[in-house]
C-alpha cells in the first residue's frame, strides 16, 4: 500500500505481509466475479434483466413474486440480494439506506497493451476529497474519487462525458496518473454514486428474515466502501446461509424458517459493527479542516496507524462447504 498527499508527497508505504502475516489484498473485477459464479450454475438457472415489481405472501405459505416483464413466480424460499434499493427489504419493513454526506466517482482504466502499475493499493488524501486506484488485471486498473457533497446533490447524471469531466475537475491538480486513468476509462465503466449505509440497531431494526424470505448483502446491511468489505460480507452471508439451509431444506417449512432466523442471528454481530466502523472511518477520511488534515497526514498516517488492528475485521474463518 502507498499513501500520498494530494501534492504527490508520500505519507507512508508498506507491504501487507510485513505488517501482519494474516493480511493480503486481492482485487477482482466485479463482472468477472459474477460471471465466474454464474458459470458454475446449470444453464438457464439465472434469468437476467428481470426486476421485481411486487412481492406478497400466498395462502399456502409460499411467496408470490411479480416481475416487471409480467412474469409471476411462486417461490418456496426467497433470498433478497438485489442491492441497496431492495424492494424485498422495503416489503420487510427496513428503512431506506441513509446518505452519509459524500459521494463517489468510480471507473476502470483500460490499457490494451498492459497497465504500467506495480501491485500496489494506492491512496491519495486531500481535504474533504480522496482518491485511490489498484490494478485488477494485467490490463485494467480500478479507480475511485470520494468527495463531500450536499445532502441534495440534484438529479442523477448518467452522461459519461459529463461524469468524466466532473471527476477530472475534482482532482485537476493531483498526480497525473490519476487523470490519465480517468481518460482511459470506457464510458460504460464510469459511474457516480451517493454513498449510503443502514445501521441494524438491536431491537429496532427488523430481523434478516420473515417467514421464508431472507436478505443477503447490501439488501440487508448496506455499508460504505471505506473498509472494502461490502461484497466480501455478501459472500460471507452466502456461505453461512447455504450451510444453515443445507440440512433444514430436507426437513420441511418449520426447519427452513428456523434456519433463516439462525443465519440472521449469527451474521448480525459481524455486519452491524462493520457497518458502524466503515462509517466512522469514512467520516475521518473525509475531514476538510486544514489543521485536522495536517495532523492526519503528518502524524496519524506516518507514525500512529498500524495495519494489523486496522484490518483485523478481514479475518473471517470459514470451513469449506460440503457437496
| Percent share of the chain, pLDDT over 90 | 69
Task: Say whether pLDDT at 312 is over 90.
Answer: no
Predicted local distance difference test score (pLDDT) of residue 153: 64
Reported as a single tens digit per residue, the pLDDT across 216-229 is 999 999 999 999 89
What is the pLDDT of the chain when averaged over all its residues?
91
Predicted local distance difference test score (pLDDT) of residue 320: 76
- 313 pLDDT band, cuts 50/70/90, is confident
Predicted local distance difference test score (pLDDT) of residue 23: 78
Find the mean pLDDT for residues 118-147: 95
Predicted local distance difference test score (pLDDT) of residue 20: 78
Find the mean pLDDT for residues 284-298: 90
Task: Say whether pLDDT at 252 is over 90.
Answer: no
Find the mean pLDDT for residues 83-88: 94
What is the residue whose three cell numbers read 498526480? Answer: 175
Domains and CATH numbers, the chain: 46-95+197-287 (3.50.50.60)
Predicted local distance difference test score (pLDDT) of residue 100: 95
Task: Say whether pLDDT at 196 is over 90.
Answer: yes
Reported as a single tens digit per residue, the pLDDT across 41-84 is 998 888 888 889 999 998 888 899 999 989 999 999 999 999 99
Reported as a single tens digit per residue, the pLDDT across 173-189 is 899 999 999 999 999 99
Amino acid at each position: 500500500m502507498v499513501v500520498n498527499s494530494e501534492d504527490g508527497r508520500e505519507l507512508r508505504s508498506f507491504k501487507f505481509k510485513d505488517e501482519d502475516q494474516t493480511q493480503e489484498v486481492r482485487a477482482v473485477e466485479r463482472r468477472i466475479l459474477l460471471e465466474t459464479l454464474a458459470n458454475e450454475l446449470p444453464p438457464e438457472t439465472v434469468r437476467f434483466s428481470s426486476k421485481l415489481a411486487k412481492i406478497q405472501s400466498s395462502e399456502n405459505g409460499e411467496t408470490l413474486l411479480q416481475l416487471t416483464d409480467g412474469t409471476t413466480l411462486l417461490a418456496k424460499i426467497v433470498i433478497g440480494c438485489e442491492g441497496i434499493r431492495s424492494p424485498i427489504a422495503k416489503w420487510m419493513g427496513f428503512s431506506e439506506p441513509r446518505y452519509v454526506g459524500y459521494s463517489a466517482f468510480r471507473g476502470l482504466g483500460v490499457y490494451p497493451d498492459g497497465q504500467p502499475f506495480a501491485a500496489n493499493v494506492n491512496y491519495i488524501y486531500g481535504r474533504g476529497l480522496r482518491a485511490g486506484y489498484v490494478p485488477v488485471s494485467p490490463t485494467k486498473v480500478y479507480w475511485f474519487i470520494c468527495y463531500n457533497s450536499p445532502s441534495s446533490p440534484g438529479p442523477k447524471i448518467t452522461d459519461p462525458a459529463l461524469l468524466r469531466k466532473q471527476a477530472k475537475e475534482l482532482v485537476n491538480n493531483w498526480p497525473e496518473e490519476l487523470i490519465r486513468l480517468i481518460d482511459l476509462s470506457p464510458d460504460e465503466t464510469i459511474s457516480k454514486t451517493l454513498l449510503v449505509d443502514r445501521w441494524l440497531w438491536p431491537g429496532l431494526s427488523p430481523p434478516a428474515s420473515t417467514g421464508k424470505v431472507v436478505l443477503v448483502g447490501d439488501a440487508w446491511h448496506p455499508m460504505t466502501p471505506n473498509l472494502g468489505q461490502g461484497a466480501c460480507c455478501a459472500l460471507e452471508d452466502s456461505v453461512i446461509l447455504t450451510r444453515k439451509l443445507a440440512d433444514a431444506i430436507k426437513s420441511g417449512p418449520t426447519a427452513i424458517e428456523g434456519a433463516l432466523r439462525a443465519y440472521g442471528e449469527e451474521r448480525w454481530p459481524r455486519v452491524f459493527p462493520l457497518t458502524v466502523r466503515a462509517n466512522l472511518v469514512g467520516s475521518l477520511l473525509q475531514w476538510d479542516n486544514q489543521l485536522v488534515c495536517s495532523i492526519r497526514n503528518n502524524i496519524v498516517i506516518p507514525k500512529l496507524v498500524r495495519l494489523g488492528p486496522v484490518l483485523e475485521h478481514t479475518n473471517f474463518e470459514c470451513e469449506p462447504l460440503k457437496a
